[in-house]
Amino acid sequence: MLQIIIQGLLLSGLYALIAMGFMLIFSIGRTLNLAYGAYIMVGGYIYFWLSQQLGLPKLIGFAGAVAVGAIMGLLKHRLIVKPLKGDPVAVEISTLILAVIMQSAVVLVFGDASKILLPIIPGVVTISGAQVTYNIVAATLMSWVIILALYAFIRGTHTGRAMQAVSMDQKGAAISGVDPDRINMITWAISGGLGAAGGVFFASYTQLSPGMWVAPVIISVAIVIVGGIGSIIGTLIVAHIIGFLEIIVVAVWAPELRGVFTMLLIIGVLIMRPQGLFGREEH
């Protein structure tokens, strides 16, 4: 029982972190950014390259991953999203193409075989019979730090509040003296950085492989939609619902069914209540 709670909390923290970056983009442009998975994947691989292949300190590896993710987010906004003028279908499809391009780029550079990431912080602690690695504890703590910082940033700073304003009403925000273009750029960069950071932890939780981006994208989509667009609290709650759901299914039922209930949940909620469980009404 305690094991389920601990593992559930750890996995949920990770999911919440991954979903945050996706939520930012989805709430600001209603853009289904399938290339978000590419940030996750690239973040993991950059960290692997810097810290394991080049032997640089882990902190530099992590910073490098976040920086590359942020740059990717910026470039994506400049080169693809802006020229398409926010046509959601075109953006969706171009992000799908981009995600597949990034996947094959990773195959090109790192090869097809999956790679094991060394734990960021080595060591194991046993809590009531459950083996918990320091690595995943650190990942969860880090994701909570990042989530809280993001929350403070969005609620507390002028730029953060402007981001909220743009996500609610682009024109209204522009009239009140906010430059939506600048805010969009900042949001895409933050989202890319968050995705890459999530990717480092996600890769250390599972492993690095060129196909690793699909599952986290679908999970973040599920969390964001079910949680309601633009709601940080909703995202957090649903990340825990899905995290615990998966751990319970694995522990009680069968590991193969892990993703099945997540998919059923997202399909059900989308059809019954498209605005999500905690979201504001869309018009």
Partner 1 sequence: MPGLAQTLFITASGAGMNLRPHHFILWALFIAGMLLMPELVGRGTLRTMVFACYLAIFAISWDILSGRTGYISFGHPFLVGIGAYTTAILTRRYGFPVEASIPIAVLVTMFGGLIVLLPALRIKGSYFALVTLAVMELMYQLVPVVRPDLTGGTRGISRLPALTRGAENGYYLAVCLMLAVALFAWLLMRTRLGTALWAIGQNEESVRGSGLSTTRLKSFAFLVSAAIAGLGGAFYAHYLGTITPRAFFDINVLFQIIVAVLIGGAGTILGPIIGAFFMVFLLEWLRPFLPGQERFFVYGAIALLIYMYQPKGIMAIIESGITRLRGART
Site for partner 1, rule CB under 8 A: 30-32, 80, 83-84, 88-90, 92-94, 96-98, 100-101, 103-105, 107-108, 112, 210, 214, 218, 221-222, 225, 254, 256-260, 263-264, 266-267, 270-271, 274
Residues 6+ positions from 170 with CB-CB distance below 8 Å: 180
Minimum distance from CB of 270 to partner 1 (Å)? Answer: 5
Task: Give the residue with the Cβ less far from partner 1, 63 or 215.
Answer: 215
Rounded to the nearest whole angstrom, what is the least distance from the CB of residue 63 to partner 1 in the complex?
Answer: 27
Shortest Cβ 258–partner 1 spacing (Å): 8
Nearest to 192 by CA among 76, 62, 87, 27: 76
Is 69 exposed, middle or buried (CB count within 10 Å of its CB: 0-12, 13-18, 19+)? buried
**Given the complex with partner 1, which of 46 and 229 has the nearer CB atom?**
229
CB of 88 to partner 1, least distance (A): 6
Q: How many residues are present in the chain?
A: 283
Nearer to partner 1, 96 or 165 (CB): 96
CB nearer partner 1, residue 123 or residue 268? 268
First vs last Cα of the chain: how many Å apart? Answer: 43
Q: Which long-range contacts (CB under 8 A, 24 or more apart) does 157-163 make?
A: 159/183, 159/186, 163/24, 163/28, 163/187
**Residue 256 or 281 having the CB closest to partner 1:** 256
**Closer to partner 1 by Cβ: residue 66 or 239:** 239
Q: Are 200 and 210 in contact (CB under 8 A)?
A: no
**Could you say which DSSP state residue 33 is in?**
-
CB of 56 to partner 1, least distance (A): 27
Residue 282 DSSP class: P
The alpha helices in 30-157, defined as continuous H runs, are: 36-47, 58-76, 88-110, 134-156
CA dihedral sign, ordered 278, 255, 194, 149: positive
Minimum distance of partner 1 from residue 4's CB (angstroms)? 21
